[in-house]
């Protein structure tokens, strides 16, 4: 039996709903709205320790007006893309602000998880370590490497970056749970992420054995998300049929001026003219030029032809209106229960 995830996050209501630590997108406003609604709010670090510290200060001030106690840790999480961060730059920020959760993802090599987990535990012993991975073997490997407090199982449907190939949540969660149990890690809770767009998806993930659910794409339609342009959110709301109109690939990174991602990662985004050109055989040089030209406008390339990259998961078609992040969390709790009850009535 996985140990109860609720012990360490006393403000969290059941079932646990979290927003993804989307670097540049998930700041203090989003994280605190999620936490104040009884979810687990995450800030995504965007390779700038100074900016992260400012967001954490902001989060502390926003939370101070809520009923949620700030005790030994700050009741939010902070996510790091390991490949992009310098460990020595963020250790002091973590020691100072002590977030309840430290999220680690996307290392150059799996062993980096162990190095980071050790440093983070030293910097803030009461923070819990959550690690996001994308496969069954990776879940067991990471459990062996660094005993994470929670494993986040990222399915192939997920928006943004991850490792391919991968499976959908309905096979990834149960198989990972079985293998973790068999390897002696039955106490590590698992969170499902990727392709969940509403309460029905939350109920499905829980039925598959998840101890909570994390979403990125759904929160792209929140009031509090930080977006590079309003057209980004318009594109999210307009998108339908996410399995067809989003795709995973490296092309979305390849067309940018600077490629920072290690080759083992790709990302899911809305299909775009650049993607279509790529399928039609247009060369990378030409694609890069078109992309660079498109992002100079006031809409930064997110409007018009939409050559700027709009990261989104395959649940994007379920995301239809902009809401306060807290309302998204509350609605997910209610509708997942209703979905579960409906499912039970079919037995
Ligand atoms: C716009 C966007 C940005 C993301 N940025 C990050 C990030 O900085 N770090 C990270 O670990 N995951 C990131 N992710 C992936 C999420 O952690 C998560 O796996 C994903 O959002 C779950 O799938 P969903 O989008 O279908 O809900 C991002 C996802 C999106 C949509």
Cβ of residue 221 lying under 6 Å from some atom of ligand 1: no
Cβ of residue 127 lying under 6 Å from some atom of ligand 1: no
Give the count of beta carbons closer than 10 Å to the beta carbon of residue 295: 18
Average pLDDT over residues 173-190: 98
Domain 5-226+320-344 sits in CATH 3.20.20.70: yes
Q: Give the least confident one: 12-21, 35-44, 63-72.
A: 63-72
Give the count of beta carbons closer than 10 Å to the beta carbon of residue 70: 15
Q: Are 74 and 56 in contact (CB under 8 A)?
A: yes
Instruction: Using alpha carbons, list the distances in angstroms from residue 220 to 34, 224, 264, 342.
Output: 13, 9, 25, 28
For 226-286, give the secondary structure using H, E and C.
CCCCHHHHHHHHHCCCHHHHEEEECHHHHCCCCCCCCCCEEEEEECCHHHHHHHCCCCHHH
User: β-pairing, 212-215 with 128-133?
Assistant: unpaired
Quick: pLDDT tens for 232-277.
999 999 999 999 999 999 999 999 988 899 999 999 999 999 999 9
Q: Determine the Cα–Cα distance for residues 85 and 94; give it in Å rounded to an integer.
A: 13
Cα 215 to ligand 1 centroid, rounded to whole Å: 7
Say whether pLDDT at 308 is over 70.
Answer: yes
What DSSP designation does 2 have? P
**For the chain, what is the mean pLDDT?**
97
Lookup: tokens for 336: 């997942």
Atom of ligand 1 nearest to the CA of 194: 23
Confidence at residue 3, expressed as pLDDT on a 0 to 100 scale: 61
Lookup: tokens for 116: 């980071």
Cβ of residue 107 lying under 6 Å from some atom of ligand 1: no
Cβ of residue 194 lying under 6 Å from some atom of ligand 1: yes
Q: Determine the Cα–Cα distance for residues 199 and 15; give it in Å rounded to an integer.
A: 11
Cβ of residue 81 lying under 6 Å from some atom of ligand 1: yes
User: β-pairing, 190-193 with 160-163?
Assistant: unpaired
Say whether pLDDT at 1 is over 60.
Answer: no
Cβ of residue 132 lying under 6 Å from some atom of ligand 1: yes
φ, ψ at 154 (rounded to 5°): -95, 115
Say whether pLDDT at 65 is over 70.
Answer: yes
Give the percent of the chain with pLDDT over 90: 96
Query: Rounded to the nearest 10 degrees, how much is the dihedral formed by the CA atoms of 39, 126, 73, 104?
Result: -50
Lookup: tokens for 23: 């670097």
Chain position carrying tokens 């990776």: 138
Confidence at residue 258, expressed as pLDDT on a 0 to 100 scale: 86
Cα 310 to ligand 1 centroid, rounded to whole Å: 12
Q: Are 271 and 243 in contact (CB under 8 A)?
A: no
Cα 312 to ligand 1 centroid, rounded to whole Å: 8
Confidence at residue 120, expressed as pLDDT on a 0 to 100 scale: 98
Confidence at residue 89, expressed as pLDDT on a 0 to 100 scale: 95
Confidence at residue 343, expressed as pLDDT on a 0 to 100 scale: 97
The dihedral of CA 227, 17, 167, 117: what is its sign?
Answer: positive
Q: Determine the Cα–Cα distance for residues 55 and 256; give it in Å rounded to an integer.
A: 27
Every domain of the chain with CATH number 3.20.20.70 lies at 5-226+320-344
Report angle CA 180, 338, 152 to the nearest 5 degrees: 25
Quick: pLDDT tens for 66-106.
989 888 999 999 999 999 999 999 999 999 999 999 999 99
Cβ of residue 157 lying under 6 Å from some atom of ligand 1: yes
């Amino acid at each position: 039996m996985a140990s109860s995830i609720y012990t360490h996050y006393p403000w969290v209501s059941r079932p646990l709903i979290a927003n993804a630590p989307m670097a540049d997108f998930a700041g203090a406003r989003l994280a605190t709205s999620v936490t104040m609604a009884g979810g687990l709010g995450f800030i995504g670090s965007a390779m700038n320790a100074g900016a992260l510290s400012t967001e954490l200060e902001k989060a502390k001030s926003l939370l101070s007006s809520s009923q949620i106690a700030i005790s030994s840790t700050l009741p939010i999480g902070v996510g790091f893309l390991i490949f992009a961060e310098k460990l020595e730059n963020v250790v002091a920020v973590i020691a100072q602000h002590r977030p309840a959760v430290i999220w680690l993802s996307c290392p150059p090599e799996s062993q980096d998880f162990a190095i980071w987990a050790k440093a983070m535990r030293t910097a803030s012993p009461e923070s819990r370590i959550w690690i996001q991975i994308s496969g069954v073997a990776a879940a067991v490997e990471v459990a062996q490497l660094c005993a994470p407090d929670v494993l986040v199982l990222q399915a192939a449907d997920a928006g943004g970056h991850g490792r391919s190939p991968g499976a959908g949540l309905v096979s990834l969660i149960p198989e990972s749970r079985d293998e973790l149990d068999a390897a002696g890690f039955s106490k590590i809770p698992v969170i499902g992420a990727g392709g969940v767009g509403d309460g029905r998806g939350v109920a499905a993930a829980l039925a598959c054995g998840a101890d909570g659910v994390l979403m990125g794409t759904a929160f792209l339609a929140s009031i509090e998300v930080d977006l590079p342009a309003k057209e980004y959110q318009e594109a999210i709301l307009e998108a339908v049929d996410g399995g067809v109109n989003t795709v995973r690939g490296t092309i979305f990174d390849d067309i940018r001026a600077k490629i920072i991602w290690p080759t083992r990662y790709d990302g899911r985004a809305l299909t775009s003219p650049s993607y279509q050109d790529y399928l039609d055989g247009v060369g990378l040089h030409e694609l890069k030029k078109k992309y660079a030209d498109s992002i100079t406008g006031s809409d930064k390339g997110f409007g018009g032809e939409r050559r700027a990259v709009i990261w989104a998961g395959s649940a994007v078609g379920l995301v239809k209106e902009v809401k306060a992040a807290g309302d998204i969390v509350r609605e997910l709790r209610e509708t997942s229960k209703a979905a579960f009850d409906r499912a039970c009535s079919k037995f």
